[in-house]
């Protein structure tokens, strides 16, 4: 994959696109934001999942270049849509966050692409945020001071503790889809999701439920005050021009 990535970068990302998945208010279905998700349609190999090529890009030192491409597209798309899309979430890999040049990289992106940070949410996985915890806190705080908002991605799957969570400068948590997917299974699974929503409420963090696929999950999330839902039930990831909400 690394060789294919190299070629793709040389070809200026001809086969890569940024798709968007809506995050909606579960009651009104109003769009609150979109998550930007990288897609790669290789001419010979077909679709290659980011869960395969992102780790390769991290290993090969190419994650910065890919993220640059995402910022480029997101800034263009935000401009093109005016205020129709309130904000866009961009995934920041742990490898990039922990790079010593990370803050400088983000500052350069803001400058080069005339990005309005108040319309961008940076998603950091719980696992990445907890690694080198103090360094992560310092960097996330600096990003917040630049005007970005921060989401803790894949919440519940990392090794966070309440102690960490209290100290992390984040604005929202994204409850991992493995928990949402089990809402219908048993009482324990539901209690776990409720607990995550309660913790968020106590810490005054916004909540996004990931991977919402059924009305049963949706109704449970509404009853328990989840702010925003993202999943196949309310919208698949799609190119900006084809979004159906
Ligand atoms: O979109 P999909 O579910 O296939 O994504 C699989 C994984 O790839 C998810 O963990 C998602 O966060 C990650 N991913 C998708 N797009 C990007 C991106 O632009 N940057 C990074 N770092 N990860 C991404
Ligand atoms: O790790 P992260 O949360 O960034 O990854 C988001 C990924 O989840 C995207 O790759 C997207 O394609 C996928 N996804 C989005 N909605 C659903 C859903 O309802 N069900 C499942 N199984 N995956 C989803
Ligand atoms: Mn994400
Ligand atoms: Na996630």
Distance in Å, CA 111 to ligand 2 centroid = 30
Query: What's this model's pTM, rounded to 2 decimal places?
Result: 0.97
Cβ(168)–Cβ(137) below 8 Å:
yes
User: If pLDDT is split at 50, 70 and 90, which confidence band does 216 have?
Assistant: very high
Distance in Å, CA 134 to ligand 3 centroid = 22
Q: Which of 18, 23, 36, 51 to mutate to test the pocket of ligand 1 (most atoms within 8 A of CB)?
A: 51
Q: Is the pLDDT of residue 245 over 70?
A: no
Determine the pLDDT at residue 85. Answer: 86
Q: What is the mean pLDDT of residues 132-141?
A: 98
| Percentage with pLDDT > 70 across the chain | 99
Atom 20, ligand 2: which residue's CA is nearest? 211
Residues 6 or more apart in contact with residue 241 via CB below 8 angstroms: none
Give ligand 1 pocket residues (Cβ under 6 A): 37-38, 49-51, 54, 70, 91, 93, 237
Determine the pLDDT at residue 35. Answer: 98
Kindly report, residue by residue over 50-62, the tens digit of the pLDDT.
999 999 999 999 9
Kindly report, residue by residue over 69-97, the tens digit of the pLDDT.
999 999 999 999 888 888 999 999 999 99
Sorted by where each starts, the structural domains of the chain and their CATH numbers stand as: 2-236 (3.20.20.450)
**Across the chain, which distance is largest between two alpha carbons, in Å?**
52
Cα angle 56-168-31, degrees, rounded to a multiple of 5: 75
Determine the pLDDT at residue 103. Answer: 98
| 211 CB within 6 A, ligand 2 | yes
Count CB neighbours of 242 within 10 A: 9
3-state secondary structure of 79: helix
Cβ(105)–Cβ(64) below 8 Å:
yes
Which residue, 188, 195, 197, is CA-closest to 226?
197
- Position with higher pLDDT, 206 vs 242: 206
Note whether ipTM > 0.85 here.
yes
C-alpha span between 12 and 130 (Å, rounded): 34
């Amino acid at each position: 994959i690394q060789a294919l990535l190299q070629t793709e970068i040389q070809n200026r990302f001809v086969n890569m696109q940024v798709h968007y998945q809506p995050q909606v208010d579960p009651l009104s279905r109003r769009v609150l934001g979109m998550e930007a998700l990288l897609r790669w349609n290789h001419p010979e190999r077909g679709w290659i999942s980011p869960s395969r090529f992102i780790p390769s890009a991290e290993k090969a030192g190419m994650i910065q270049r890919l993220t640059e491409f995402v910022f480029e597209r997101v800034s263009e798309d935000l401009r093109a849509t005016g205020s129709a899309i309130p904000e866009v979430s961009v995934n920041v890999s742990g490898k990039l966050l922990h790079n010593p040049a990370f803050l400088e990289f983000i500052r350069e992106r803001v400058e080069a692409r005339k990005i309005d940070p108040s319309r961008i949410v940076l998603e950091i996985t719980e696992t990445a945020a907890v690694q080198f915890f103090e360094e992560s806190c310092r960097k996330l705080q600096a990003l917040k001071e630049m005007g970005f908002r921060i989401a803790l991605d894949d919440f519940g799957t990392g090794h966070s503790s309440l102690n960490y969570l209290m100290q992390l400068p984040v604005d929202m948590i994204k409850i991992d889809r493995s928990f949402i997917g089990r809402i219908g299974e048993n009482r324990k699974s539901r209690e776990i999701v409720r607990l995550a929503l309660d913790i968020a409420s106590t810490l005054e963090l916004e909540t996004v439920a990931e991977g919402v696929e059924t009305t049963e999950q949706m109704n449970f999330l509404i009853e328990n005050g989840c702010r925003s839902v993202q999943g196949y039930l309310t919208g698949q990831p799609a190119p900006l021009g084809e979004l159906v909400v």
